[in-house]
Amino acid sequence: MISRPKGTNDLLPTESQKFVKLTNFTHKFMKKYNVEFIRTPIFESYELFHRNGELSDMVTKETYDFLDRANRKLTLRPEGTAGIVRSYVENKIFSPGHFSSYYYIGPFFRYERPQKNRYREFYQIGAELIGNKHFTQDAELISMAYNFLKGIGIEDFKLKINYLGNHEELSKFKIDLSNYLKPLKESLSKESQLRIEKNPLRILDSKSETDRKLLINAPKTLDYISQKQAKEFQQTLKILDKKHISYEIDHTLVRGIDYYSEIVFEFQTSELNSSSHNAVGGGGRYNDLVNELGGPKVSGVGFAFGVERLLNLKNSLNSLPENIDIFLTYIDDVDSLDSYIIFSNLRMKNFKVYFGYKSNTLKTEIKNALGLGSKYLLIFDSKTSGKGIVQVRNLQQHSQVELKYEELDAYLRENLEVKK
Ligand code: HAM
């Protein structure tokens, strides 16, 4: 037997229902926000993710890099933002004075140590707003991500926010942070010791308890930003307050990717049962990336959610609109013909119907119908179907009526408000 590669998942029908619901929800949700769908390649040039100065752990340790048959150096995309910005620049889809908004759904690859909620191939749903910068966009994007989570039924999460500043402020901050940490080096965790020189920022979000205690008096990025930046940040937070979006300022939130500047945020939940992988999503602003990749001097802000993590949350997608309205089943094989013909007719009339091809026990069929979110179960039983009568069970009200075949259409139409 050949097994699937380590860190990958098969999405089997029990879970795939939820995935389909999630993608359908995403398309509708993004339309409401006027965000357009974009798809970029799953592999990109190696250089896109390994640009000068990129020292994030993701790039140094976690990318899948390979040579193709013509010796081109390529990388399986570890995240979506760089590819979208590459596409934005390459296709010149920028319009001065405006901003463009895109969303994406797709697989990403990181060579990590696999465990629950941390995979080598995983899916993300993300969005990027690129163009003229304004603090209302930060607020718009964060509330969009927040409403997305609420929209799929997730209530139990924390929104953490921090403000990093730009390259200049961050460079000063990094020096001071290093200087603060150096005398503590011996007491820090092994991982953090390795980061002191190369990537001190990441020490801030270390999960080690000892590290966290040592960080209590560490410098804070908010003390390094300009007055203008502080004012913009406050304005963004004010909008969130007005929209009743609750958040916490977390001085240790730095995020794992190096392109961030100014605002960063993360959605965390304790439900994922893992101290280090409790983020369902996150994002922030990137002021330099577009220009660094050859585009105009415009900024971007975006977020991405981990799809597997969303699907693993117990309340996600429980109450989204049902997939089907009517489930048809039959008790005896002799009734399968009638039920199949009626199923085909209802489908042609735009009802959302499902035909249980194999007659299971009635109890199982009720369970199946409920699993698909069906409102009605039509039962064809030879005791009545010989007389052209079907049992119509309302699964929400637990009631049942008998109807003649010719009455079905009008009855269902009236109760389900199906458009012709
Ligand atoms: P990220 O925080 O690296 O951000 O990933 C976003 C989400 O993807 C995480 O919160 C997590 O839910 C999920 N995720 C990441 N790695 C894994 C993994 N190995 N297994 C399962 N799920 C995972 C980004 O990728 C940025 N591109 C987000 C962004 C968009 N920033 C600006 N625009």
Tell me, yes or no, whether 291 lies in a domain: yes
Q: Of ligand 1's atoms, which has the minimum distance to the CA of residue 81?
A: 27
Whether residue 383 is contained in a domain is answered as: yes
Residue 156 sits in the same domain as residue 257? yes
What pLDDT, on the 0 to 100 scale, is given for residue 204?
92
Task: Work out the angle between the directed axes of helices 13-32 and 135-151 (0-180°, nearest 10).
Answer: 140
How far is the C-alpha of 212 from the C-alpha of 227, rounded, in Å?
Answer: 29
How many domains are there within the chain?
3
The predicted pLDDT at position 270 comes to 86
Measured CA to CA, the distance from residue 60 to residue 7 in angstroms comes to: 19
| 374 found inside a domain | yes
CA separation for the pair 335, 357 (Å, rounded): 11
DSSP 67-92: E-TT--EEEE-S-SHHHHHHHHHHTT
How far apart are the CA of 178 and the centre of ligand 1, in A? 26
The larger pLDDT score, comparing residue 328 to residue 323, is at 328
Residue 237 C-alpha to ligand 1 middle, in angstroms?
Answer: 23
For residues 71 and 217, state if they share a domain: no
CATH code, 75: 3.30.930.10
Q: What is the pLDDT of residues 265-310, one digit of tens each?
A: 999 998 876 655 689 999 999 999 999 999 999 999 999 999 999 9
* pLDDT at position 355 over 60: yes
pLDDT of residue 54 exceeding 60: no
Report residue 105 as tokens: 């759904």
Q: DSSP label at 115? A: B
Same domain, 26 and 103: yes
Mean pLDDT of 74-100: 90
CA–CA gap between residue 279 and residue 270 (Å, rounded) = 9
Whether the Cβ atoms of residue 282 and residue 261 lie closer than 8 Å to each other: no
Is 135's pLDDT higher than 70? Answer: yes
- Domain match, 140 and 217 both: no
Give yes or no: residues 254 and 208 share one domain.
no
Among 49-58, 164-173, 191-200, the range scoring the smallest mean pLDDT is 49-58
Please report the pLDDT score of residue 94 as a whole number: 77
Nearest CA to ligand 1 atom 18: 118
Quote the ligand 1 centre to 255 CA distance (angstroms): 10
Dist. CA 109–CA 73, nearest whole Å: 16
Say which residue the tokens 């390529």 belong to.
74
Contact 8, 108 (CB under 8 A): no
**pLDDT mean over 151-170:** 93
Which protein residue's CA is at the shortest distance from atom 11 of ligand 1? 306
b/e burial code for range 323-344 (CB count within 10 A of at least 16 → b) = eebbbbbbbeeebbebbeebbe
Q: How far is CA 267 from the centre of its chain?
A: 11
Answer yes or no: do 290 and 200 share one domain. Answer: no
How far apart are alpha carbons 254 and 174 in whole angstroms? 12
Give the binding-site residues of ligand 1, using a 6 Å CB cut-off.
79-81, 110, 112, 117-119, 122, 124, 126, 128, 256-257, 279-284, 302-306, 308-309
Same domain, 182 and 129: no
Q: How far is the CA of 284 from the centre of ligand 1 (A)?
A: 12
Mean pLDDT in residue range 192-221: 89
Q: What is the pTM of this model?
A: 0.82
For residue 337, the domain's CATH number is 3.40.50.800
The string of DSSP letters for 295-355 reads S-S-EEEEEEEEHHHHHHSTTTTTTSPPS-SEEEEESSGGGHHHHHHHHHHHHHTT--EEE
Q: What is the pLDDT of residues 373-410, one digit of tens each?
A: 899 999 998 888 888 999 999 998 999 999 999 999 99
The ligand 1 atom nearest the CA atom of 117: 21
- The reply to whether 124 and 190 lie within a common domain is no
Say whether pLDDT at 155 is over 80: yes
Q: Quick one: angle between helices 135-151 and 227-242, nearest 10? A: 30
Residues 188 and 50 in one domain: no
CA 243, 247, 249, 254 torsion-angle sign: negative
In a domain, 236, yes or no: no
Question: How much is the mean pLDDT over the chain?
Answer: 90
Chain centroid to CA 243: 22
Asked if residue 97 has pLDDT above 70, the reply is no
Q: What's the 281 CA to ligand 1 centre distance in angstroms?
A: 6
In a domain, 1, yes or no: no
Same domain, 305 and 383: no
Residue owning the nearest CA to atom 2 of ligand 1: 282
CA dist 6 and 91 (Å) reads 36
394 bridge partner residues: 376, 399
Task: Kindly state the average pLDDT of the residues 108-127.
Answer: 95
Distance 304 CA to ligand 1 centre (A): 6
196 pLDDT above the threshold of 90: no
Nearest in space to 310 (alpha carbons), one of 156, 84, 205, 162: 156
Look at residue 318 and tell me if it is in a domain.
no
8 A C-beta contact, residue 111 and residue 49: no
Cα 245 to ligand 1 centre (Å): 22
Residue 230, domain member (yes or no):
no
Query: What range defines the domain where residue 353 resides?
Result: 326-415
Domain contains 6: no
Partner residues linked to 101 by β-bridges: 129
pLDDT at 259: 93
pLDDT at 206 over 70: yes
Residue 181 makes CB contacts below 8 A (sequence gap 6+) with 188, 192, 196, 200, 203, 214, 218
Q: Please say if the pLDDT value at position 419 is more than 70.
A: no
- Answer with the one of 257, 280, 311 that is the final residue of a domain: 311
Same domain, 187 and 253: no
**Whether the predicted pLDDT of 202 surpasses 90:** no
Same domain, 180 and 260: no
User: What is residue 7's DSSP assignment?
Assistant: T
